[in-house]
């Protein structure tokens, strides 16, 4: 009988759990408040990449990197192609760029 009720409910429990998990994540990132009202940062972000970018912009790391480094960092969101080997990439980047890239990449992995 429980299985039949579960099928008839259309997986409502799973959807409710997903909804609650997403809301807790959005609250953690201060995209919504406890009453599920959309906050300013939430208005800026609409997708996973948007949330990561919004968090990056609000982190203050953007002001610590050069325009070229920012372009390289933003390219992470535009392409899935792999570059050459590490030997091909000899240029040394600033510590600020490394921090900004680490910030974005750790959130993309989650």
- The predicted structure's pLDDT at residue 35: 92
Least confident of 3-7, 71-75, 86-90: 86-90
- 24-78: per-residue pLDDT in tens? 888 887 888 999 888 887 777 666 777 788 788 888 888 898 888 888 888 877 7
Q: What is the pTM of this model?
A: 0.44
Q: Quote the distance between the C-alpha of residue 98 and its chain's center.
A: 17
Residues in CB range of 95: below 8 A, 6 or more apart: none
Between the CA of residue 23 and those of 34, 35, 88, 92, what are the distances in Å? Answer: 9, 10, 43, 40
* Closest of 57, 40, 34, 44 to residue 104, by C-alpha: 57
Q: Look at residue 91 and tell me whether its pLDDT is greater than 70.
A: no
Q: Look at residue 81 and tell me whether its pLDDT is greater than 80.
A: no
76, 108 Cβ separation under 8 angstroms = yes
Domain boundaries, the chain: 1-42, 45-110
* Average confidence score pLDDT of the chain: 77
- The predicted structure's pLDDT at residue 68: 87
Q: Which of residues 14 and 84 earns the better pLDDT score?
A: 14
């Amino acid at each position: 009988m429980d299985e039949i009720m579960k099928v008839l409910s259309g997986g409502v429990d799973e959807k409710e759990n997903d909804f609650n998990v997403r809301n807790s994540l959005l609250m953690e990132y201060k995209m919504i408040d406890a009453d599920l009202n959309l906050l300013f940062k939430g208005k800026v972000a609409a997708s996973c990449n948007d949330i990561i970018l919004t968090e990056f912009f609000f982190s203050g790391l953007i002001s610590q990197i050069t325009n070229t480094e920012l372009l390289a960092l933003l390219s992470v969101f535009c392409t899935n192609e792999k570059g050459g080997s590490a030997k091909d990439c000899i240029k040394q980047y600033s510590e600020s760029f490394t921090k900004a890239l680490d910030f974005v990449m750790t959130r993309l992995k989650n």
